[in-house]
């Protein structure tokens, strides 16, 4: 069976690896460098297990920038292209997904199209009706950045949504779920087949709940700071309740990264005229947390604020929609002098802020060091560090 995977990001590459253990897979991307690295056995993204599989496992996988070659004679095309949220359109930009579907319709119209990109609720049903293509389904991803392949090899569940409940489409959905199960290491993976609009809703509501949990513990931490309480003690006492659980509870400067910011805003947009309070509060809470953090930093009246890493977490190679960047913008509005240490930034300046390459010089010049997540290389200047990372202690 030939499977094409559109997009060599962390979603596309992790899916390509899982499927290429037992199938012929061609991964296609517009980025020549990414395709070259994959063909050289090198991961273009930071993910230990992806690198291990590319380097040492037998995979029937190759990468290309030629979409015609990738889609020709494909039995399945898995769409994993990015869909960023755009405020102006009040929703996701699905143009990359639209483009893949158009190309597949021209090259291999009988192929099963599996949309894994996050899309607005109702998108798959709409495309199914408008294109007239016989086989389009939606299968949401629940992957953590930096652990995408691990999550696909040990999935919490596999969900596939069909736009119309027909015997043929349900069979195709079950077939694709079986391919993902066969490539997983975990046994007895729960599979759910549902309507595509329901599956799209699952994706957005799941990520919004995670954003809610982040926001809750961030607001708990805000309260503890304002009242002079030990935030860690309060969180420990709260999370000992088994109904709450001791996980996803380490305060931060706000939720960020690939998924949570855009998915919460998209879900809020999908509510439209439907009554709600919680969803908008989650979106607003993130902005409030960043403002509170910026105010706390400015209250210390530092001469120079050092921003340690723009990325959201350790071992991440992504700082898209990072809460740290939001804080730098708030500080810039008050003309706070800042410097940045971020190895991922190659330029001398990032949004007008000087980027230092030498960590020792960065530490020396910083009066206060702002770190969303603490790191061992900051131990020697820990008295300078402002962080809400409660689980990196002596």
Specify the DSSP element, H or E, that contains 233.
helix 231-239
Distant-in-sequence, close-in-space partners of 18: CB < 8 Å, separation ≥ 6: 149, 152, 153, 180, 183, 184
Q: Report how far apart the first and last C-alpha atoms of the chain are (Å, whole number).
A: 53
For residues 328 and 309, is the Cβ–Cβ distance under 8 A?
A: no
Cα–Cα distance for residue pair 141/153, rounded to 1 Å: 12
Point out the residues that are catalytic: 259
Query: What is the per-residue DSSP string for 98-130?
Result: HHHHHHHHHH-TTSEEEE-S---TTHHHHHHHH
**Half-sphere exposure of residue 106, counting CA atoms within 13 Å on the CB side?**
10
How high is the pLDDT of residue 344? 86
Query: How would DSSP label each residue in 242-269?
Result: TTT-SSS----S---SSSHHHHHHHHHH
Alpha carbon distance 111, 104 (integer Å): 8
Residues 6+ apart with CB under 8 A from 286: 211, 215, 254, 255, 261, 264, 323
For residues 283 and 226, what is the distance between their CA atoms, to the nearest angstrom? Answer: 22
Strand partners, 63: 27
Do residues 192 and 158 touch, judged by C-beta distance below 8 A? Answer: yes
CB 201 within 8 A of CB 279: no
Least Cα distance to 159 among 147, 143, 135, 148 occurs for 143
Give the integer Cα–Cα distance in Å for 290 and 353.
19
- Compute φ and ψ for 7, nearest 5 degrees: 110, 120
* Whether domain 2-189 has CATH 3.40.190.10: no
Nearest one of 50, 48, 41 to 13, comparing CA atoms: 50
- pLDDT for 139 equals 98
Residue corresponding to tokens 């969900």:
159
CATH 3.40.50.720 domain locations along the chain: 2-189, 250-386
Tell which residue, 209, 298, 221, 228, has the closest CA to residue 253: 221
Contact 306, 323 (CB under 8 A): no
- Homologous superfamily assigned to 250-386: NAD(P)-binding Rossmann-like Domain (3.40.50.720)
Tokens of 31: 């980025």
What is the full per-residue pLDDT of the chain (394 aa) written as tens digits? 999 999 999 999 999 999 999 999 999 999 999 999 999 999 999 899 999 999 999 999 999 999 999 999 999 999 999 998 887 777 899 999 999 999 999 999 999 999 999 999 999 999 999 999 989 999 999 998 889 999 999 999 999 999 987 888 999 999 999 999 999 999 999 999 999 999 999 999 999 999 999 999 999 999 999 999 999 999 999 999 999 999 999 999 999 877 898 999 999 999 988 999 999 999 999 999 999 999 999 999 999 999 999 986 665 666 777 899 999 999 999 999 999 999 988 899 999 999 999 999 999 999 999 999 999 999 999 999 999 999 875 4
Is the sign of the CA dihedral 362, 364, 366, 371 positive or negative? positive
- CB neighbours of residue 171 within 10 Å: 12
The rounded distance, in Å, linking the Cα atoms of 27 and 244 is 40
Tell the burial category of 196 from Cβ atoms under 10 Å away from its Cβ (0-12, 13-18, 19+).
buried
What's the pLDDT at 58?
95
């Amino acid at each position: 069976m030939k499977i094409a995977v559109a997009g060599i990001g962390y979603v596309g590459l992790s899916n390509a690896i899982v499927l290429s253990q037992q199938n012929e897979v061609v991964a296609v991307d517009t980025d020549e460098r990414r395709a070259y690295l994959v063909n050289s056995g090198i991961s273009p993204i930071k993910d230990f297990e992806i690198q291990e599989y590319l380097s040492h496992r037998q995979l029937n996988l190759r990468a290309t920038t030629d979409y015609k070659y990738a889609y020709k004679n494909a039995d399945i095309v898995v769409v994993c292209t990015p869909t960023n949220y755009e405020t102006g359109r009040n929703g996701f930009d699905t143009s990359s997904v639209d483009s893949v579907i158009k190309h597949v319709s021209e090259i291999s119209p009988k192929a099963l199209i599996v949309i894994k990109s996050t899309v607005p609720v109702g998108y798959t049903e709409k495309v199914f009706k408008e294109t007239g293509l016989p086989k389009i389904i939606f299968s949401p991803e629940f992957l953590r950045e930096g652990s995408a392949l691990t999550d696909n090899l040990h999935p919490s569940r596999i969900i596939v949504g069909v736009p119309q409940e027909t015997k043929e489409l349900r069979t195709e959905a079950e077939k694709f779920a079986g391919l993902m199960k066969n490539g997983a290491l975990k046994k007895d993976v729960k599979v759910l087949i549902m309507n595509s609009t329901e599956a799209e809703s699952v994706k957005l509501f799941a990520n919004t709940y995670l954003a809610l949990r982040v926001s809750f513990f961030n607001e708990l931490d805000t309260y503890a700071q304002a009242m002079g309480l030990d935030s860690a003690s309060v969180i420990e006492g709260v999370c000992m309740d088994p109904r709450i659980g001791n996980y996803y509870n380490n305060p931060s400067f706000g939720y960020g990264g690939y998924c949570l910011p855009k998915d919460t805003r998209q879900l809020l947009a999908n509510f439209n005229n439907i009554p709600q309070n919680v969803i908008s509060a989650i979106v607003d809470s993130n902005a409030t947390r960043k403002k509170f953090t910026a105010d706390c930093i400015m209250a210390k009246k530092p001469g120079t604020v050092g921003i340690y890493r723009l990325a959201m977490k350790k071992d991440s190679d992504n700082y898209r929609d990072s809460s740290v960047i939001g804080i730098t913008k708030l500080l810039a509005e008050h003309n706070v002098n800042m410097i940045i240490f971020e190895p991922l930034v190659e330029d001398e300046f990032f949004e007008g802020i000087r980027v230092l390459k030498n960590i020792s010089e960065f530490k020396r010049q910083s009066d206060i060091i702002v770190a969303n997540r603490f790191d061992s290389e900051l131990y020697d200047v820990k008295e300078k560090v402002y962080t809400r990372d409660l689980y990196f202690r002596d």
